[in-house]
Structure 1
Amino acid sequence: MPLIYCGACSHAPGITARAERADTQTRQAVEAAFGRMGEEIRATKPDALVVIAAEHFANFFMNNMPAFAIGMADSYEGPIEDEAFLRIKRTTVPGNKALSRKLIERVMQTVDVAYAEEWKFDHGISVPLHFLTPNYDLPIIPANINCQGPPLAPLARAWAFGEALRAAADAVPERIALIGTGGISHWPATPDSGKINAAWDQEFLRRWTANDRQALLSYTDAETYRDGGQGGFEIRTFIAAAAAAKGAKGTVQFCEPVPIFAVSCTVARMQIAA
C-alpha cells in the first residue's frame, strides 16, 4: 500500500527537559504543533510509524557505526536518558518485528542497512513520540542515520535511504506513516548551545517543501558545520523523508526559533496522496 503520511519534526531534548523555561505562549505553540501532527498521523490509521532519527551514540559507537540501521523488534524501551532530565517517563514502546523484517528485506535491495533486534530509544525518538503518540499505542519502526561520527553518509545516500524506505512501504499491505526527526541548525553540547541560524533554517525548509532534490543535496558538510553547527548534520533525516515523499511538495506547519530549546522548533508535512 502506498505510504500514507510523510513528515518531519524537531527532536531537541530541551523541548521537554526545559519546557518551563520557555515563554508560556511559545511552549504552548510548540506543543500544539506537535499535537496537530499526531492527530494527522493517527487520522491516516497507520499500522506502524517509521521514525528516521539521528544516532546520538545511544546504540552505536565508533567501534561499530552503521550509516543506516532499522530496528527489528516487537518492543523497544525509552528514553535512555535520565527521566528527571528529559522529563519523559521510561516506558515500553510497541514495535512490529515481522513488519520490520519485511521492510528491511525490501530496503536491502538497494541500500546496505544494518538491523538491530535490541534498540534503546533516546530523545531523538522519545521526544517526538511523547507528543505524537502519547498513549504509546502505535507500533514504531525506528530507523537511524549516522549524523554524529565522521565519516558521515553522503547526502545522496540519505536520499537513497528515503527512496528505499518508500519503496518498502509501498510494497507491503500495511499502512505505513513516516517521519524524519532532527534539528536544523543547532550546536548541542558546545559553548554555542542555544545559538540558532534562523535564516539558514528557513532556506533549508524552502528547499525541503519544494522537494528540490538538487538543492537539498548541494550542501557540503563543511558548509553545514559552518552555518548550521554539528547538529546541522541531522538534515539527513529530513532529506530522507523528502525522498520518501516521492516528489510531493511540503508545507511548514510550524517553525519558530526557541533558544532555550536550542533549535528552530519545526513541524512539517509532505502532501503525499494517501
Structure 2
Amino acid sequence: MAKIVLGVGASHSTLMNTHWEETTHKAEAERFRDALYATRERIAAARPDAVILLGSNHFRGFWLDLIPPFTLGVGECNASGESGTPAGPQQVDVALAQHLAAEVIEGGRFDLAFSARLQIDHGQSHAIQYLLAGLDVPIVPLVVNVFAPPLPTFKRCEELALALGAAIESFPEDRRVVVIASGGLSHQLPWPDWRDPHGEDEDFMVQAWLDGRENWADYDVRRRQIIRAAEAAISPEFDNRILDLFETGKAAELAEYTTSELEEAAGNGAQELRTWLMMAAIMKYIPAQRLAYEAIPEWLTGMGVAVLDPATRPTH
C-alpha cells in the first residue's frame, strides 16, 4: 500500500539561476538555497518511490487556447527548460498517476483534467532542479492554474487535495510518496488579467499567452525584460503569518481566502499558495517545520521552505 512519508512547501524563482551574481541580498539568498539543499536531504532520507509534484502554470505549457483549473500528468512529461531549469523528458510514475486519475474521476470525487503528454515549466521543474537533484525518483505532476483568471477557489483546491490524498492511500502497490508544493510566497508579477490588459506591455503579454504554444521562446526576451523591470512587492508580515499557520497545523485557514483577498494582501504571485494548501491537505494538516524565510527583492519574492514530516510532528 502507498504511504505518504513527507510533505514540502518551497518557493521558486528562476532568478536564482539567471541573476545569482546580481543578487545583492546574498546572505539571504544563500540561506534560502541552503534550506533547499537541506530539504533535499530530508527527501532523500524519506526514501521516496514517487513524488507528487504540485505546481503552477507560467504560460509555457498551458496557453489561453485551453486552461484547465487542474491537470494531472498521467503519461509523458516534458519540461520546457526555461531560465536554466531542467529541460526535456521527466520520469513519471505512470501507474500511480493513472490510479489517481481513475480514483478521483471514476470514483466521482472530482472532475479532473489529465494529460498523457504534459509540458511543465519552472512551476514544477524548479523543484526537480533543487529538491530532487540526483534522487532518480519519478514524479506525478499536477499543474494548478493560478495565473489565468478565473482561478479555482482555494476551497476547491482543498477538496481536490483531500480526494487525491485518499486516492494515494488506496494505491494497492507499495509506494513511499513525498508531496511537494512549489510556489509562493508573496510577490507581484507584471502580468495582466488577460481579460482586461492595459498598455503595450500587457497587450504583448496577453498576445504571447495566446500565440506561444509552438514558439514561446520567441516571446521570452521581451517577456523577461518586463519581469526584470518590475519592482518587488513582498509582504514579510503576510508570509510569516502564513508560515505560522503551517507551523501550528492551521494551514486549512488558507482555504477561506478568496482570490481577490489574497491578491490584495500578497500580490498575484501569492496565488501559488494554492499548491501549499493542497500539499498540507494531503498531509492532513499536520504541523510543519519552517526551514527558511527570506525576503529577496532581486527575486521579487518572499522565499520560504517548510517541511511536514509525519514521523517527527513538531509540538507547539
What TM-score do you get using the length of structure 2 for normalisation?
A: 0.79
Question: How far is 1:24 from its partner?
Answer: 3.4
d(CA) in 2 for partners of 1:214, 1:8: 14
| 1:100 is the counterpart of 2:97 | yes
d(CA) in 1 for partners of 2:89, 2:65: 27
Question: How far is 1:148 from its partner?
Answer: 1.2
Instruction: Give the structure 1 partner of residue 33 of structure 2.
Output: 31
The aligned length equals: 269
d(CA) in 2 for partners of 1:33, 1:252: 10
d(CA) in 2 for partners of 1:71, 1:193: 34
Is the Cα–Cα contact under 8 Å of residues 49 and 177 in structure 2 kept in the other structure? yes
Letter of the 1:90 partner, please give it: A
Q: How does 1:171-210 map to 2 (within 5 A)?
A: 171-172=170-171, 173-189=174-190, 192-210=230-248
> Given the superposition, is the C-alpha separation of residues 206 and 77 from structure 1 closer, same or farther in structure 2, using an over 3 Å criterion?
same
Instruction: Give the structure 1 partner of residue 8 of structure 2.
Output: 7
| 1:122 is the counterpart of 2:121 | yes
Instruction: Give the structure 1 partner of residue 79 of structure 2.
Output: 78
Most deviating of 24-33 and 170-179: 24-33
Letter of the 1:255 partner, please give it: Y
Question: How far is 1:122 from its partner?
Answer: 0.9
d(CA) in 2 for partners of 1:143, 1:114: 10
Letter of the 1:51 partner, please give it: L
Is the Cα–Cα contact under 8 Å of residues 186 and 193 in structure 1 kept in the other structure? no
Instruction: Give the structure 1 partner of residue 54 of structure 2.
Output: 52
Is the Cα–Cα contact under 8 Å of residues 158 and 277 in structure 2 kept in the other structure? yes
d(CA) in 2 for partners of 1:171, 1:273: 20
Most deviating of 86-95 and 252-261: 86-95
d(CA) in 2 for partners of 1:89, 1:170: 30
Q: 2:283 aligns with which of 237, 241, 245?
A: 245
Instruction: Give the structure 2 partner of residue 169 of structure 1.
Output: 168
Query: 1:190-231, CA deviations, whole angstroms, 9 ceiling, x for partnerless residues?
Result: 565422111111112222333325522222222211121111
Is the Cα–Cα contact under 8 Å of residues 208 and 216 in structure 1 kept in the other structure? no
> Given the superposition, is the C-alpha separation of residues 34 and 28 from structure 1 closer, same or farther in structure 2, using an over 3 Å criterion?
same
Q: Percent identity?
A: 25
Instruction: Give the structure 1 partner of residue 197 of structure 2.
Output: none
Is the Cα–Cα contact under 8 Å of residues 35 and 132 in structure 1 kept in the other structure? yes
Most deviating of 193-202 and 90-99: 90-99
Letter of the 1:207 partner, please give it: L
Q: Which has the larger radius of gyration?
A: 2
> Given the superposition, is the C-alpha separation of residues 272 and 136 from structure 1 closer, same or farther in structure 2, using an over 3 Å criterion?
closer
Is the Cα–Cα contact under 8 Å of residues 48 and 176 in structure 1 kept in the other structure? yes
d(CA) in 1 for partners of 2:42, 2:252: 29
Question: How far is 1:102 from its partner?
Answer: 0.9
Show structure 1 runs of 4+ deviating over 3 A.
Answer: 190-193
Q: What SS does the corresponding residue of 1:115 show, helix, strand or coil?
A: strand
Is the Cα–Cα contact under 8 Å of residues 155 and 256 in structure 2 kept in the other structure? no
Q: How does 1:200-239 map to 2 (within 5 A)?
A: 200-212=238-250, 215-239=253-277
d(CA) in 2 for partners of 1:64, 1:216: 27
